Amino acid sequence: MDDQSELFGRESVLTAVAHHTTAARRGTGAQAVLVRGGRGTGKSAVLRLAAATETRAGTTVLSAGGRGERLPLTVARRLLAQTGTGVPELTDTSAAAFYRVYRAMWRDVVTLAQRSPVCLVLDDLDACDDATVRWVDFVLRRLGDEPVSLVLSQNSPLHVDLARAHVVDLHPLTTPQVADMISTTLHFPPDAVFTNLCLRLSGGIPSHLTTVLADIRAAQALRQESVELVAARRLRDQPEHLRAIATALVVVDREELVGPLAGVSARVAETGISTLRRHHLLGEGLPDHVRAWYRAGVLDVLDPAEAAELRHRAAVVLDEFGHDAGAVADQLVHLPAVDAPWMSQVLHEAAAGGQPQDASRYLRRLVELSPDDVELRVNLATELSRHDPAQACEHLAAAFHRTTDPDLRAALAVKHALTGRTRAFLRLARDPALSADLVTLLDAVQLSIDLDDARVAAAAVATATPPPAGDTTARRCLLGVVAEATMRGGGSMDAAVGYARAALADSEALTDWSMLSAATVLRVAGHAGEALSVLDRAVDAFSGNGDSLARCRSLVQRALVHMSLGDLQRATLDAATAVQAMRDGGWQLPRAVVLLAWLSLQTGNTPFAEKLLDEIDEDEVRHLTPVHREYLRASGWLAFVQDDLPLAAERMAACQTVMSAVGLSDPGALPTWIDVVQVMTLAGRDATVATREADRLAKAWPTRESAAFSLLAQAYATTGLGAMDMARAAADGFAAVPSLIQQARTELLLGQRWTGVGDSRQARAHLRAAVGLALRAGSRTLADSARTLLLGVGGRMRVPSTVDGLAVLTASERKVVDLAAAGVTNRAIADHLFVTLRTVEVHLTRAYRKLGISSRAELADYLAS
């Protein structure tokens, strides 16, 4: 760390020191200045600058600093040794003996000053030996006309009152000074929020603020490592009792327990907490995630044994004071050994009543104590499956191998298959002794997984059969999956819808995998309202019970429904939420990533879509039936919007090959076939196969939307007035669904065709309709394409007043505003757009100012208007 950063905001102190040293050098009398301040405030930097300045002026500078010495005159001896002057070892420690040595040392300094001015620089007096401090006091009392100056510093109080020294205090930087330092270091003017964060994090101490800002500049973000480092450094500079109070408060987070835990009285604890808060040493006032990092840094002042002992005492104190089992268990999980019976009992009690992620922490410790307890592993896996499926599968596999009970093995195989989307134990679990319901459940899960696997999907569809009559959970599960198999095989739409509705007959049942299959069938069959109702219920239920993975899967399916209805804003919000949760949980959910990329392409966020698609390894999704085709479709569309038509056609041709090779007749793939037709036709490639397949699928599942898709495919692939008629009929069909996006793209096609035959009036009418529909749906890409063509044929279009207002925003500000208005948090927006949290805050602040608003609520109202 350079002295320049530590000296930031210290101009008045430097001036005071220079005034005294200059006066002594010019012969106006000996001077002494004492610089006081905590560690990191810049004392040493002030002294170093003073020494360098005096050296350049021809002064003899003698410098030394305290290092915690205890032997008498150790530091003074090191100071005077620089002139070749020796300080005798003291064998007699009487006051008279010290006096004689002090006088001799002072005479040596005076003699030196007769040749040139002398400046004695002593850093950290409070860390010097007692005799050296007393000699400094001796010198101060004898200063007269000699050209001698003393520049001293101290951190903590001295046992000697250096009353004759001019005292200069180094206080923490003020808010304006912190803002100036941020602006100088990061080269942008900070707002009040960011300035306050840096002030609270560093306590206004220049060295700590420098650490924070250097990390932000290097990493383009505030990192956990730098926050923890600053927190630990700041706390280590405090007295021992304050360190004990701070660590106790961080551990128990209950002020009334700090005294017993820190080993101090209630009054000392209260005063200490006030002091820590006053100096921003507890991380309060920081954003939640930064506060958590800061508090972790506070505990870094303890070594592992000390931290474990503190946690053990905290658990005992919390238990004795009657706090709930969860609070006690939160301490026990950090201990290296849970070896007392009462500890296991507390962990069991806490796991039974805790939230999923908390319960999994408690159960994990219990499993470590009893690794062969199958029930414990199953309970742990149940909790983990909601937020950590990979870990859940490990425990389910361990439990499967530790039991011989057929029913339990079947149940474990089902859970393992659904959690990891793998069929690893399904065959092993089949046993003649199993009940009919368990066999049905195994069949349902097997079919669900097979439908996602391109290698076996066609065979699975061909052999899928509904279960015998009855009304059980297992039967409903199988019905939901059979409904999807019927659809994917191009079977009877009425039968598939009947199976789907029967699967959803029990509104209280929650099985995300079969519910999602049934909802998919309803969506494709044109019953989007029913599908949305099911998925709303699923998202709410899984949000309530903490099953994050099931919630993500439900959000992806709901996004598909919103997209089919042309509501890209809601679709994007659901997909973005799913991707964020996936990243937070460390899971693999490629369909969510591909869907968000596709939606980003539709809404004009092409760079983000490209980043998302780069995250996908095609080889890893090649066997996943819908995911691979959607990945190829999105990749092709990315090339299309980037004006690389040959690459777009190549990717769409690959998509066509994949869909044909699977051997299914899936009406859910109709939108993809239409995109293949459009791009292949524009690239001059033969789209006959894709057009025929779209028509065949539409006839197999005769809905308004499928008929409109078939007409649109034929309109893309043909020319002339017949194509115009088909496009008009397709537009009417999409309007009846309604499907805003497909209606908009059909109107755009009509505008293009009328432009091609020279009828500008007809072209303008369709292009205006396309712009309006695209804007309503949220597709800026489609709206911009239609508006460009409209202007090209002499058209004008009045943009609604809200859009006029939003036109003052930059593209980056608009992206942030759209997500913020949808309820996405600043951190989630930052992750979604791959920018820093600070960048999001800056964009929102500027957008608020441009739009004349001051809050998210006003922003949502503004956009709604």
Q: Which long-range contacts (CB under 8 A, 24 or more apart) does 850-859 make?
A: 850/808, 850/809, 850/813, 851/805, 851/806, 851/808, 851/809, 856/820, 856/821, 859/817, 859/820, 859/821
Q: What is the pLDDT of residue 193?
A: 82
Residue 91 has pLDDT above 90, yes or no: no
Give me the pLDDT at residue 83, please: 87
- Percent of the chain at pLDDT > 90 equals 61
Per-residue pLDDT tens over the stretch 651-660:
999 999 999 9
Residues near 761 by beta carbon (within 8 Å), at least 6 away in sequence: none
- The neighbour count for residue 26, using CB atoms within 10 Å, is 11
* Among 353, 305, 309, 303, CA closest to 329: 353
pLDDT of 419 > 90? The answer is: no
More confident residue, 430 or 855: 430
Contact call for residues 447 and 460 (beta carbons, < 8 A): yes
Distance between CA atoms of residues 455 and 450, nearest Å: 8
pLDDT for residue 331: 94
Report the relative pairing of strands 118-123 and 166-169 from DSSP bridges: unpaired
In this structure, what are the phi and psi dihedrals at residue 29, rounded to the nearest 5 degrees?
Answer: 120, 150
Q: How far is 303 from 635, CA to CA, in rounded Å?
A: 51
CB contact at 8 A, 596 and 572: yes
Position 801 scores a pLDDT of 42
Q: How far apart are CA 724 and CA 321, in angstroms?
A: 80
Residue with tokens 């007409």: 711
Place of tokens 């003052």: 808
Mean of pLDDT values over 657-681 = 94
Q: Please tell me the least confidently modeled range out of 523-532, 782-791, 856-865.
A: 856-865
Say whether pLDDT at 689 is over 90. yes
The angle, 0 to 180 degrees and rounded to 10, between the axes of the packed helices 740-756 and 760-777 is 160
Residue that wins the pLDDT comparison between 742 and 811: 742
The residue among 472 and 508 whose pLDDT is bigger is: 472
pLDDT exceeds 70 at position 861: no
Write down the pLDDT at residue 2.
60
φ, ψ at 328 (rounded to 5°): -70, -45
Token pair 């076939």 is found at 673
Q: Report the 3 state secondary structure along 674-712.
A: HHHHHHHHHCCCCCHHHHHHHHHHHHHCCCHHHHHHHHH
pLDDT-based confidence at 803, cuts 50/70/90? very low
Report pLDDT digits (tens) over 166-201. 999 999 999 999 999 999 888 888 888 888 888 988
Least confident of 226-230, 496-500, 749-753: 226-230
50 half-sphere exposure, CB direction, 13 A CA radius: 37
148 forms beta bridges with: 118
> Which domains does the chain carry?
3-169 (3.40.50.300), 175-374 (no CATH), 621-798 (1.25.40.10), 811-864 (1.10.10.10)
Read off the pLDDT band of 802 (50, 70, 90).
Answer: very low
Q: What is the pLDDT of residues 631-647, one digit of tens each?
A: 999 999 999 999 999 99
Q: What amino acid occupies position 333?
A: V
Lowest-pLDDT range of 201-210, 618-627, 822-831: 822-831
Cα separations in angstroms, 60 against 26, 108, 121, 122, 558: 14, 13, 11, 14, 79
d(CA 437, CA 460): 20
Would you place residue 805 in the very low, low, confident or very high pLDDT band (cuts 50, 70, 90)?
low
Backbone angles phi, psi at 62, to 5 degrees: -115, 120
Judged by DSSP in three states, 80 sits in helix
pLDDT at 806: 66
Q: Which residue has the higher pLDDT, 52 or 740?
A: 52
Mean of pLDDT values over 112-140 = 94
How confident is the prediction for the chain on average, in pLDDT?
89
Cα 404 to Cα 168, 417, 420, 520, 604: the distances in Å are 79, 18, 22, 37, 56
The highest-confidence range among 284-288, 448-452, 651-655, by mean pLDDT, is 651-655
pLDDT band of residue 109 (cuts 50, 70, 90) is very high
Residues 524 and 834: their CA atoms lie apart, in Å, by 33
Between 853 and 816, name the one with better pLDDT.
816
Average pLDDT over residues 139-159: 91
Of 498, 554, 562, the residue nearest 525 (C-alpha): 498
pLDDT of residue 517: 94
pLDDT at site 808: 62
